[in-house]
């Protein structure tokens, strides 16, 4: 049981380039999330999804887009990368909301934008 898998693990981009981070979960979870982690900032929610075909904005959505075409996959896209998007990105999934909202995290994707 792989849990939550993120690809790629590392990526270096030049300013203005685009890329997509892929998150896959095999636990049949309804909810999926993308966070970014920056030193001293904790984790901040970028976008989330409460089910296949749905997405919603989180705390810091600007510059990112997401899609949830299949229940098991949640894609995070950067349309035109900026140095401010240098960060570690974590995908997470959960079975449900509130008290059932125990998150299972991926191992992270480290993105550097030059």
Partner 1 sequence: AQSVTQLDSHVSVSEGTPVLLRCNYSSSYSPSLFWYVQHPNKGLQLLLKYTSAATLVKGINGFEAEFKKSETSFHLTKPSAHMSDAAEYFCVVIMDYGGSQGNLIFGKGTKLSVKP
Q: Does 103 bind partner 1 (CB under 8 A)?
A: yes
As measured in angstroms, the least distance from the Cβ of 68 to partner 1 is: 14
Q: Is 105 in the site for partner 1 (CB under 8 A)?
A: yes
Closest to partner 1 by CB, 13 or 92: 92
Torsion of CA 25, 54, 33, 35, to 10 degrees: 140
**CB of 28 or CB of 42, closer to partner 1:** 42
Is the peptide bond between 9 and the residue preceding it cis, with omega within 30 degrees of 0? no
- The answer to whether 89 contacts partner 1 (rule: CB under 8 A) is no
| Residue 66 burial (10 A CB sphere; 0-12, 13-18, 19+) | buried
Tell whether residue 22 is a contact of partner 1 (CB under 8 A).
no
Which DSSP state fits 91? E
Q: Least distance in Å: CB of 19 to partner 1?
A: 20
């Amino acid at each position: 049981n792989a849990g939550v898998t993120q690809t790629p693990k590392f990526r270096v981009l030049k300013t203005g380039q685009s890329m997509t981070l892929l998150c896959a979960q095999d636990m049949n979870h309804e909810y999926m999330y993308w966070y970014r982690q920056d030193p001293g900032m904790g984790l901040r929610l970028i976008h989330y999804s409460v089910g296949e075909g749905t997405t919603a904005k989180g705390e810091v959505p600007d510059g990112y887009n997401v899609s949830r075409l299949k229940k098991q996959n949640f894609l995070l896209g950067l349309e035109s990368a900026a140095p401010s998007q240098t960060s570690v990105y974590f995908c997470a999934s959960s079975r449900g909301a509130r008290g059932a909202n125990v998150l299972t995290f991926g191992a992270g994707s480290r993105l550097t934008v030059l």
